[in-house]
Amino acid sequence: MKVSRRSFLGMGAALATALGFGRFLPAAAEQPAVTGKILGASAKIGHQLRGGTFPAISSTIQKDVVIVGGGIAGLGAGYRLKKAGHTNFALLELEHQAGGNASSGRNATSAYPWGAHYVPLLTDESRAPKKLFEELGIIKGHDDKGLPIYDEYFLCSDPHERLFIEGRWQDGMVPNLGLTEDDKRQYSAFFALTDSFKNKRGRDGKKIFAIPVDKSSQDPDWLKYDTLSMKDWMDAQGYTSKPLRWYVDYCCRDDYGSSFDQTSAWAGMHYFAARTGTAANAAPGGLVTWPEGNGFLAHRLMEPIKDNIIPSTLAFRVKQDGARVNVDYLDQKTSEAKRISAKSVIVATPQFIAARLLDDKAIPANDFSYAPWVVANVTLSKLPAGKGVDLAWDNMIYDSKLLGYVVATHQNTEMVPLRTVLTYYWPLNHAEPKAARAEALARSYEDWRDIFLKELYAVHPEVEGHVENLDVWIWGHAMVRPTPGFIWGAARRKAMAQKPPIFRAHSDLSGISIFEEAYTRGVDAAERTLKYHKIPYETEL
């Protein structure tokens, strides 16, 4: 017989199968069951806002202020009012617990985040967040040079980041394996350029990229980049390096939930250039984090105002009535519709909710687009390992749809933690938000579980049999997307207009969904409220 090329290749494949098969022989043991469920922003209840009918108002109470929405903006507003001694307010929250994107969970192993999970060292412009951090003891004081001293337990522990690439973990998140000379040249050019943006100021003397966003320079030479996509900008600049483009795209997905061709170049550059915060006891680029992520901040904001918060309520109408404002809501426990008549209202909801509550046709809700995300928390009775560098706080996977995972127990000072919770983040940017959202909501728990387990085991076969629980949270509208033209466009400007006695507060108004923006918007709305109520205060902005 002549052995043809095909049969030879076939033999090779058979051998390879035999080899591959061998790997799985010892792992064929029985797997203990993985428990878990789907959690998530109450999509079904929220969707009643879309033309649902509500029962007649059964009761009315009076308040000075109503805050609608208990995310960071709403909590920040409540916290600020309380501090000013203005305590006759109610905060309406859709979920049974406030927190919004800073929601978190807790089990016997650890607390863990369901959304936002860190804050970079605060910039000089982030005045209100800085004041808060000092009040909460996150900033413990200042050194001789005036640099803030952060609580060392909150500064992200070393090692910060690692990247799974070519079957092993490398240190840091910028791919550094198998780079060509051209890649290296493009890397240094790109980082030199974005670093130079950090100190740059526009013709009006303001930083070109600031946090909060609205403290950025209005120099049109820089604002014009908002109309480009980050990908277009990289093309125009000649950044063709594949690992560099992957990295930039990753950063856009990580921070904005959208790929670099869906993200404004101004926003993309903002990510690299705006984080200029410094500390006496941390390197530039540092950050603070907690096991429960920004849930730590949400809880600290909630503590002093917990009696003002009315959870499990669906606000469905905010309407001016003479000098007062009526806020109508559905009490989800009793299914009764109730009314609060207030002197003023802070609408601290995303724009698509605000538009329905206020029935304001002037604000084009469709101009705001939202990235759907899926987050999974995986409880493990064994710490993941892997070839290469040690387990880090943020563990990224190269060329994956998922961003990777964050380790909830990372900030523990324990030498050998035996259990942990991993939080997997997945921005669903593979399709248009609407389609991706529908697809995500339609998927069963079992499907989600299997998808995440497959991702986990592909990188960490050693934890097979050690997964105890896997919960999934589907964020239909996780964060506003800074699509090209959005941040410096008309829709955001229009939405920002404050119309007393109704004030707006939400990071949607910034176009960038980060803690500093949301909290600053909350404080701003609270201070406007104080001014409107003629209560003296010293501004924190």
Binding site for other proteins (CB under 8 A): 1, 3, 8, 11-12, 15-16, 18-19, 22-23, 25-26, 152-153, 155-160, 167, 281-283, 286, 390, 412-416, 418
Smallest gap from residue 416 Cβ to other proteins (A): 5
Q: Tell me if 311 sits within 8 A of 97, measured CB to CB.
A: yes
Any idea what the Cα angle at residue 172 is, between residues 168 and 174, rounded to 5°?
90
Name the residue with tokens 């007062």: 324
What residues contact 218, with CB distance under 8 A and at least 6 apart? 202, 204, 206
* Residue closer to other proteins (CB basis): 159 or 485: 159
Smallest gap from residue 285 Cβ to other proteins (A): 11
* Residue closer to other proteins (CB basis): 19 or 362: 19
> Helix, strand or coil for residue 407?
strand
What letter represents residue 241's amino acid?
S
Q: Is 40 left (phi over 0), alpha (psi -120 to 50) or beta?
A: left
Smallest gap from residue 159 Cβ to other proteins (A): 6
From the list 428, 516, 480, 484, the residue with the least C-alpha distance to 267 is 484
List the alpha helices (DSSP H) in 376-444: 433-442
* Residue closer to other proteins (CB basis): 12 or 220: 12
* Residue closer to other proteins (CB basis): 3 or 192: 3
* Residue closer to other proteins (CB basis): 29 or 323: 29
> Helix, strand or coil for residue 281?
coil
Give me the numbers of helices (H) and strands (E) for the chain, helices first please: 15, 21
* Residue closer to other proteins (CB basis): 90 or 156: 156
CA distance 203 to 226: 17
Smallest gap from residue 418 Cβ to other proteins (A): 5
Smallest gap from residue 273 Cβ to other proteins (A): 22
Smallest gap from residue 122 Cβ to other proteins (A): 16
List the alpha helices (DSSP H) in 212-321: 220-223, 230-237, 242-256, 265-273, 295-302
CA distance 93 to 71: 8
* Residue closer to other proteins (CB basis): 286 or 364: 286
CA distance 120 to 417: 26
Smallest gap from residue 378 Cβ to other proteins (A): 20
Smallest gap from residue 25 Cβ to other proteins (A): 6
* Residue closer to other proteins (CB basis): 15 or 541: 15
Cα–chain-centroid distance for residue 223? 24
Q: How far is CA 282 from CA 147, 255, 297, 356, in A?
A: 10, 22, 20, 44
Smallest gap from residue 163 Cβ to other proteins (A): 17
Name the residue with tokens 């879309």: 50
From the list 105, 206, 159, the residue with the least C-alpha distance to 469 is 105
Angle at which helices 127-135 and 515-532 cross, to 10°: 90
* Residue closer to other proteins (CB basis): 394 or 524: 394
* Composition of the chain by helix, strand, coil, percent to 5: 35, 25, 40
* Residue closer to other proteins (CB basis): 48 or 412: 412
Smallest gap from residue 152 Cβ to other proteins (A): 5
Q: 438: how many CB neighbours lie within 10 A of its CB? A: 14
Cis peptide before 159 (omega within 30 of 0): yes
